[in-house]
Amino acid sequence: MTQDTDPSETLTGYARISEYVRTLDGSPGVYRMLDAQARVLYVGKARNLKARVSNYSRPGHSGRIERMIRETASMMFLTTRTETEALLLEQNLIKQLKPKYNVLLRDDKSFPNILIPSDHGFPQIQKHRGAKRVKGSYFGPFASAGAVNRTLNQLQKAFLLRNCSDSMFNSRTRPCLLYQIKRCSGPCVGLISEEDYAASVRDAERFLSGRSTRVQEELAEQMQAASEAMEFERAAALRDRIRALTSVQTAQGINPRGVREADVIALHMENGQACVQVFFIRANQNWGNRDFYPRVGADVSKIEAMQAFIGQFYDSKEPPRQLILSDAIEDTDLMAEALGEKAGRKVEILVPQRGEKAELVSGALRNARESLGRKMAESATQAKLLRGLADAFDLDGPPERIEVYDNSHIQGAHAVGAMIVAGPDGFVKNNYRKFNIRGDDLTPGDDFGMMKEVLTRRFARLLKEDPERDKGQWPDLLLIDGGAGQVSAVAEIMRDHGVEDIPMIGVAKGVDRDQGKEEFYRPGVSQPFALRRNDPVLYFIQRMRDEAHRFAIGTHRAKRAKAVGATPLDDIDGVGATRKRALLAHFGSAKAVSRANLADLKAVDGISDALAEKIYGFFQER
């Protein structure tokens, strides 16, 4: 049940909260504190809403909470049946609303897995990220795509499993290069039986499940037998496979014997900043680690920071059987119960004091401390560069948000615009944006026209979604890849939108292009100016310009590749990616689909009679 009462239009702070306390009962639930503009300041959960909220009606809090209370103009409440439900809802709302005074996990990407599908006689071994909709065996998570790729590379050597797509597999008439370099057993052309390939798949699954010792022992026995039979080429191949498995284990570093499945989570806090290091232990193997930098304050305790991190981190991820922590949390049993409900099995939360688990925490804590030290050093350097940028271009102060724009195309084809964002924490990659150029009336290769379209769309959206400029999405500085013409065009767009108070700078190659010299342009000033060749601010600007260029080219290449892979099937309503793959796998090509008769179309798995008639009619009309 949701309550949104408004006891008084004039009260704020302690008095306002006291009025709300009178309307509450002892139910568990979630509360939200809002400011005068109805922006969410804080989200919290409570076993007893009345008791929890009444704490805010009395003085004696930390500076951060005192500021939050002073800004509170209204509150919202949502009651739940249990405190566990309240905890899950609280973390979900924090991730959605990103309140100003909550501890926030800022980097929350999904992690990749290794997938071996079960719906094919010769399944491929592949990297997988996202929802687990494909039937098969999943192994992970791995800390990064690089960790998965390294493991896949060695597993290919060890088990000779294919990594090609099903359509490529079905269209092969002779072995590919991977077979020639002994990375694949050639199932596409019948060079291995389905039974022998299935045995290799089982070995790979056993290895990824932690039963690596037995797999290596069996390979060693086979190598010895081949050697005794004087099958030296086969013995050498088996030796290389054993080396590949050893290489995987060596790259994984720490491989704890007593920890089968756990996340080791260590927190280090210093000067109002925090780093959380997470090691992923699966099948007694270390599958990599990742560091996170949640937003905290100087008066946030380790208990609060760790509790917030765990709740937000596992809101969209399946928890392992054990969480091994460096610091205790406030509601250990409640959090374990909530994560157990989510996973459908028991989840244990530990803070070890001795033994192998404590050693794992110690190693993760050392990594967290060193990572935060590097991050703070980088932040200090970044702050110095931003101050230097403000001085060089006579800005009001160091910019908090710099937006850099660039375009990419080939003779006007597959044109895209790109925007990257930089600030006190470096590049803010989750704020990057790409723009598919839509202008049908643009002359191919018209960079001015493309930039005009990108900026028009960007600022029209900002004016619509954040007219008050209070959500942190408006730039303090624009960097444009181009000279006086581009700057003039952008200035005109800004005037058209009534936005003329944002500084902008055009960056263009100078006369001495090979010397790394840049020329800078500002609106209304025809003559460019330059910075000293060895000025750190110059290198900083070049890095931002190069990052925008990299992002624009990558986006353009992705769009071009997608266009190359496009077929007429993409234009048929009801034919999505899965049915498209089924049709291509069945017929071999889109052209063959277009020539197929109705009976053949109906024979494809996943294609209903009605859809087969629609596909047949589509190509007949063409």
Domain ranges of the chain: 2-97, 113-252, 261-373, 402-563, 568-621
Nearest alpha-carbon partner for 72 in 12, 131, 136, 24 = 12
Look up residue 7 and give its amino acid.
P
pLDDT of residue 287: 83
Strands 136-139 and 113-117: antiparallel
Strand segments (E) across 293-340: 322-325
Homologous superfamily (CATH) for 568-621 = 5' to 3' exonuclease, C-terminal subdomain (1.10.150.20)
Tokens for 122? 């010769």
Q: What is the pLDDT of residues 339-374, one digit of tens each?
A: 999 889 999 999 999 999 999 999 999 999 999 998
- Helix (H), strand (E), coil (C) string for 519-573: EEEECCEEEEECCCCCCHHHHHHHHHHHHHHHHHHHHHHHHHHHHHCCCHHHHCC
Instruction: Decide: residue 593, CB within 10 A, 0-12 exposed, 13-18 middle, 19+ buried.
Output: buried
Give 596's pLDDT tier (boundaries 50, 70, 90).
confident
Residue 514: pLDDT band with limits 50, 70, 90: very low
82 and 112 Cβ atoms separated by less than 8 Å:
no
Where on the phi/psi map is residue 271: left (φ > 0), alpha (ψ -120 to 50), or beta? left
List the Cα angle 30/310/378 in 5-degree steps: 115
Please tell me what DSSP assigns to residue 272.
T
Classify 293 as helix, strand or coil. coil
Query: What average pLDDT does the structure give for the chain?
Result: 84
Q: Which CATH number fits domain 2-97: 3.40.47.10, 3.40.630.40, 3.90.440.10, 3.40.1440.10?
A: 3.40.1440.10
Report how far residue 70's alpha carbon sits from residue 54's, in angstroms, rounded to the nearest whole number: 15
Percent of the chain with pLDDT over 70: 89
User: Which one is predicted more confidently, 426 or 30?
Assistant: 30
**pLDDT of res. 259:** 86
With cut-offs at 50, 70 and 90, classify the pLDDT of residue 472: confident
- C-alpha dihedral sign at 383, 389, 394, 399: negative
Chain CA centroid to CA 575, Å: 28
pLDDT, position 561: 65
Q: What is the CATH number of domain 402-563?
A: 3.30.420.340
What does the pLDDT read at residue 7?
47
Give me the mean pLDDT over the 452-479 stretch: 87
Using CB atoms within 10 Å of the CB of residue 53, give its burial: 0 to 12 exposed, 13 to 18 middle, 19+ buried: buried
pLDDT of residue 249: 54
User: Residue 40: its pLDDT value, please?
Assistant: 93
Q: How far apart are CA 405 and CA 377, in angstroms?
A: 28
Residues 112-136: what's their mean pLDDT?
A: 89
Mean pLDDT of the region 39-61: 92
CATH code reported for the domain at 261-373: 3.30.420
Domains 261-373 and 402-563 share a fold: yes
